[in-house]
């Protein structure tokens, strides 16, 4: 069953074609990676999925409903959670208070859901620390906990391993693999070891269009992807 789909989705910024006619299909329960060189259109595409920007043309469908015209806050309510490439936590609040905001947004039980989300990302022991005092890597994990606390149908993770230690990256991979099938994951990531380890399928963008799509093995062996992104040309 398809959870998220786009049809001929495009976004132009003046003369710049950031996203070019992308047809994308993400089945429920899948872990999908979105990769590509800098400037390939990954962030622009994700912003269209989240409702942060409006498309120039095309459609976005989520759970069988056309959400093309729906703003970001409505999409959150429908079950789309997005962690940003740059951390967007509340630095003056405690770790507990940050996650509690996400729990309350969906009407959850703070006393139960906050510790559960922090336990999953390895931050349970830091629950009463001020978020701004955390290391950058731990702030990234806190943001993921805030996403998980929303119990999303789709969790979009933008460069989630940036700033994480090697051990934290291993734990992150275990976490993502444990989310399926209850949560569908779209992972935008430059760490190819992470991508190849956790993704079931990979979509490669280049110049705003889909260059290739397939399993990690198929993408690793794709000559066009090697030339454009993986260093084969």
pTM: 0.91
Number of domains in the chain: 1
Range of the structural domain that residue 212 is part of:
2-230
pLDDT tens, position by position, 144-181 = 999 999 999 999 999 899 888 999 999 999 999 998 88
> What is the structure's pLDDT at 88?
80
CA angle, 228 then 185 then 32, to 5°? 30
C-alpha 118: how far from its chain's center? 18
Cβ-contact 6, 24 below 8 angstroms: yes
CA–CA separation, 50 vs 159, rounded Å?
Answer: 16
Whole-number percent of the chain with pLDDT over 70: 97
Strands 31-35 and 184-188, how do they pair? parallel
86, pLDDT greater than 60:
no
233, pLDDT greater than 70:
no
Query: Which CATH number covers residue 184?
Result: 3.40.50.300
């Amino acid at each position: 069953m398809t959870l998220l789909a786009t049809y001929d989705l495009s976004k132009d910024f003046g003369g710049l074609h950031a996203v070019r006619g992308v047809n994308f299909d993400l089945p429920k329960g899948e872990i999908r990676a979105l990769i590509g060189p800098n400037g390939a259109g990954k962030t622009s595409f994700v912003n269209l999925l989240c409702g942060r920007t409006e498309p120039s043309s095309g459609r976005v469908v989520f759970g069988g409903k056309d959400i093309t015209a729906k703003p970001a806050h409505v999409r959150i309510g429908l079950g789309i959670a997005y962690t940003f490439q740059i951390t967007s936590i509340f630095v003056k609040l405690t770790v507990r208070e940050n996650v509690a905001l996400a729990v309350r947004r969906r009407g959850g039980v703070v006393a139960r859901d906050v510790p559960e989300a922090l336990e999953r990302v390895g931050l349970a022991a830091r629950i009463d620390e001020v978020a701004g005092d955390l290391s950058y890597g731990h702030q990234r994990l806190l943001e993921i906990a805030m996403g998980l606390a929303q119990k999303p149908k789709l969790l979009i993770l933008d460069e989630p391993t940036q700033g994480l230690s090697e051990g934290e990256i291993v734990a992150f991979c275990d976490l993502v693999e444990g989310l399926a099938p209850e949560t569908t994951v779209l992972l935008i990531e430059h760490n190819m070891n992470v991508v190849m380890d956790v993704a079931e399928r990979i979509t490669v963008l280049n110049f705003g269009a889909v260059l290739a799509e397939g399993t990690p093995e198929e993408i690793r062996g794709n000559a066009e992807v090697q030339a454009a992104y993986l260093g084969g040309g």
